Amino acid sequence: MEIYSTQISLLLVVVVGFLGYSLARELYIQSINRRKAAKLGCHDAPRLQAWDPIFGIDILITGMAALRLHNLLKFYDSKFQQCGNTVDVKVLNLPRISTADPENIKMVLAKGFEDFGLGPRRAHFLGPLVGHGIFTTEGAPWKRSRQLLRPNLTKHQDLNLPMFESHIHHLLALVPKDGQTVDLQELFCRLTIDSGTELLFGTSCGSLLEDENIDANLSFSKALDTAQSEMIIRDILGPFLSRFRSEKRFRDSLKSVHDFIDLYVQKAMTYVKSLEEVDPSEKRYIFLEELAKYSTDPLVLRWESINVLIAGRDTTAVLLGNTWWVLARRPDIWAKLKSEVEVLEGKPPTYGQLKELKYVRWLLSESLRLYPVLPINARTANKDTTLPTGGGPDGKSPIFVPKGSEVAWNTWTMHRRKDLYGDDAEEFIPERWEHLRPTWEYLPFNGGPRICLGQQYALNEASYTTIRMVQHFKSIEARDSRPWTERIDLVTSSHYGCQVGVTYA
């Protein structure tokens, strides 16, 4: 009994000592940072209040509970409403500033681009799947990736319309003609992986095709989904706790994805070696083959291909899923969309017509505003730096950002700010885009040097898909009465999908 009491006493001494050291260290760091901030004319942002001011355990617990209840975005939004558009948050003694202010976001992504980096977490989180590609690298490696990808992604923003039309037919074949419920979000994910693999590799993985080999067709798509889901779990657990969990499922899915892509990497490299034997006029554009003309490193080709594939698939699929979730609940918007599309007389749109159908673009812009695909993002300060606004009693003073601090921006909240979008900011109104010309207050595809290279391709793909489906359907109705509920993975989508029933024209 006496030994047991001694052990308890020693444990208490250790705990109290650790807490005392942490508190003393925190006070010391705060003192240094206050002096630095004063020299720069900076003032503190409002601090998110917590009963645990050192570690913010209560904030962490309530945040994790909100994530589990699929309510994290509203949780964050409530904190901005409580504190203002820029908030100082302490969780596990790690400095973090959260902002929904366009000027602060502009500083992080553009004006102060060199002052902020991805931080070590990005590579740990995404690295096993996407390797050293454009989404995980910085500095010179990132510039090389961008120089490698930019010519191909900007030169070929247009869809291969005949190719994409074939995938639209595959999708429509899976939408019941008898009005049965179908999850369009799941079909959109398969559509974009099929079109993406054909664009990148010259061959589609065929996940929309219903035949006796359906499991084989879906294997790559399923492996990619599994790998991404496992990455989310690993990120939540962190490097230490992940060691105590079996990762066989993760490793198997990674192998399937990488083996699939490596097959086409080898084909592309073989093609480049035999270029003199190929008539260019008879060869259609294949992204990976064009990439192989500029790099002979198979790993570079693998990593860049999978970076582009994931970005293209997830962004467009989520945009389409959210847009059609709204269409199923808004007959007024559906009627206006049908009216505009009627000018095509049932024919597939040309590129010129895609640009002329303004209501389609307004619809997609509004969808990206209220349901941004990537609603939260962050950077880490590479050195002591500042944000231009959000500090002081009036919230207009600059804020000091110590080296190593994380600055997160929240487009979900920013896109719903009434002072930026009016009193109807939380309402879905495509017509607002007739005159709206936002700058940094609207960031569906990021901004600055790391702005999405494929944004126009994604919008073209979403526009074409929406137009062709509207031409085939007479009406649509929601088969799920639940409100839109977040599902946060690599991107943020509708947790319950897009459950609808349609009547064909």
- Reported as a single tens digit per residue, the pLDDT across 145-166 is 998 888 777 665 566 888 899 9
Look up residue 456 and give its two tokens: 């126009």
Higher pLDDT, 21 or 233: 233
Q: What is the DSSP letter of 373?
A: S
Say what the pLDDT of residue 247 is.
86
Question: How large a percentage of the chain has pLDDT more than 70?
Answer: 88
Say what the pLDDT of residue 51 is.
75
Query: Distance (Å, rounded) from C-alpha 121 to C-alpha 101?
Result: 24
Say what the pLDDT of residue 153 is.
74
Can you tell me the mean pLDDT for 59-87?
A: 91
- Is the predicted pLDDT of residue 73 greater than 90, yes or no? yes
- Is the predicted pLDDT of residue 363 greater than 80, yes or no? yes
Say what the pLDDT of residue 18 is.
66
Query: Which of 74-88, 144-158, 244-258, 301-315 bottoms out in mean pLDDT, i.e. has the lowest?
Result: 144-158
In this structure, what is the dihedral angle of CA atoms 192, 193, 194, 197, given to the nearest 10 degrees? 120
- pLDDT-derived band at 276, boundaries 50, 70, 90: low
Look up residue 310 and give its two tokens: 């994931």
Q: Are 82 and 100 in contact (CB under 8 A)?
A: no
Residue corresponding to tokens 């366009």: 102
What stretches of 243-330 show up as alpha helix (H) in DSSP?
248-273, 287-291, 298-327
- Is the predicted pLDDT of residue 383 greater than 60, yes or no? yes
- pLDDT-derived band at 185, boundaries 50, 70, 90: very high
Say what the pLDDT of residue 442 is.
98
Look up residue 392 and give its two tokens: 């002081």
In this structure, what is the dihedral angle of CA atoms 313, 315, 317, 320, given to the nearest 10 degrees? -150
Question: How large a percentage of the chain has pLDDT more than 90?
Answer: 62
Residues in Cβ contact with 400 at an 8 Å cutoff, skipping those fewer than 6 apart: 33, 36, 37, 40, 42, 384, 386, 391
Q: Are 134 and 142 in contact (CB under 8 A)?
A: yes
Say what the pLDDT of residue 142 is.
92
Query: Distance (Å, rounded) from C-alpha 445 to C-alpha 373?
Result: 9
What's the whole-number average pLDDT of the chain? 88
Residues in Cβ contact with 191 at an 8 Å cutoff, skipping those fewer than 6 apart: 167, 168, 170, 171, 208, 317, 320, 465
Query: Which of 57-61, 103-107, 227-231, 493-497 bottoms out in mean pLDDT, i.e. has the lowest?
Result: 57-61
Higher pLDDT, 91 or 417: 417
- Is the predicted pLDDT of residue 321 greater than 50, yes or no? yes
CA atoms within 13 A on the CB side of 492: 23
Which residue(s) pair with 34 in the sheet?
Answer: none
Q: Each residue of 153-181: b (16+ CB within 10 Å) or e?
A: beeeeebeeeebeebbebbbeebeeeeee
Residue corresponding to tokens 């398969």: 190
Say what the pLDDT of residue 64 is.
83
- pLDDT-derived band at 228, boundaries 50, 70, 90: confident
Angle at 450 (CA atoms; ends 413, 263), nearest 5 degrees: 115
CA atoms within 13 A on the CB side of 209: 14
Q: Are 45 and 97 in contact (CB under 8 A)?
A: yes
- Is the predicted pLDDT of residue 215 greater than 60, yes or no? no
Can you tell me the mean pLDDT for 264-291?
A: 77
In the three-class reduction of DSSP (H, G, I as helix; E, B as strand; rest coil), residue 380 is classed as: strand
Higher pLDDT, 32 or 210: 32
Query: Distance (Å, rounded) from C-alpha 5 to C-alpha 13?
Result: 12
- Is the predicted pLDDT of residue 55 greater than 60, yes or no? yes
Say what the pLDDT of residue 212 is.
45
Number of neighbouring beta carbons within 10 Å of residue 428: 17
Query: Which of 51-55, 255-259, 421-425, 456-460 bottoms out in mean pLDDT, i.e. has the lowest?
Result: 51-55
- Is the predicted pLDDT of residue 86 greater than 60, yes or no? yes
Angle at 245 (CA atoms; ends 242, 247), nearest 5 degrees: 90
Say what the pLDDT of residue 322 is.
98
Can you tell me the mean pLDDT for 396-408?
A: 94
Please report, for residues 77, 143, 492, the alpha-carbon distance to residue 409 in angstroms, rounded to integers and kept in the order given.
12, 23, 15
Which pairing describes strands 406-410 and 94-99: parallel, antiparallel, or unpaired? parallel
Can you tell me the mean pLDDT for 411-439?
A: 97
In the three-class reduction of DSSP (H, G, I as helix; E, B as strand; rest coil), residue 483 is classed as: coil
The 3-state secondary structure of 170-182 reads HHHCCCCCCCCCE
In the three-class reduction of DSSP (H, G, I as helix; E, B as strand; rest coil), residue 85 is classed as: coil
- pLDDT-derived band at 5, boundaries 50, 70, 90: low
Q: Are 405 and 385 in contact (CB under 8 A)?
A: no
| Beta strand ranges found along 328-460 (DSSP E) | 376-381, 385-391, 397-401, 406-410
- pLDDT-derived band at 122, boundaries 50, 70, 90: confident
